[in-house]
Amino acid sequence: MKYPALCVLLFAAATSPIIAQTAGDTTAPTITITTPPINSSYDVVLSGTATDTGSGTGTGASSAGIKAVYYQKEGSSKWNTALLTAKGSTTTTWVVTVRIKGATGTRYYFRAVDTSGNESDVVGRRFKHGS
């Protein structure tokens, strides 16, 4: 049975040990919250750090770095962008200013995305106004 030349070429390329596949950065960044859960002001600056320890190798790989940090208020479906102090760096501080109302406070969720598109786990904390 004869195979068309293209099929033979594709089959040979797929099984040939000469063609090596390389992978880019697949390590998710990490994110932390440093702002304490109870604050004395209604207007609160929430902050933390995002770190990307991944590094790609081979074709199409990106260097490590934080592209963005997103935050979401409890009950909302919209993700907003936090301010980064060193966008593109492997470690950056992120900052968000919010208003905390009520005795029960408000929960905020945060996630980081690196320059390779990997996303951190979502972390959250309830912030309350108090002393």
Task: Kindly report, residue by residue over 45-87, the tens digit of the pLDDT.
Answer: 999 999 998 765 444 445 689 999 999 999 999 999 999 999 9
Sign of the CA dihedral 12, 17, 22, 27? positive
Confidence (pLDDT) at 23? 52
Burial of 97 (0-12, 13-18, 19+ CB in 10 A): exposed
Which of 45, 90, 95, 100 lies closest to 69, judged by CA? 95
Neighbours of 20 (CB within 10 A): 8
Q: Find the radius of gyration of the CA atoms of the chain.
A: 22
Confidence (pLDDT) at 56? 55
Confidence (pLDDT) at 35? 95
Pick the CATH number of 23-129 from 3.30.70.2860, 2.60.40.650, 3.30.2270.10, 3.40.630.10: 2.60.40.650
pLDDT in tens, 78-122: 999 999 999 999 999 999 999 998 778 999 999 999 999 999 999
Q: Reading across the β-sheet that carries 83-84, which strands appear in turn?
A: 30-33, 43-51, 91-99, 83-84
By the 8 A CB rule, do 65 and 88 touch?
yes
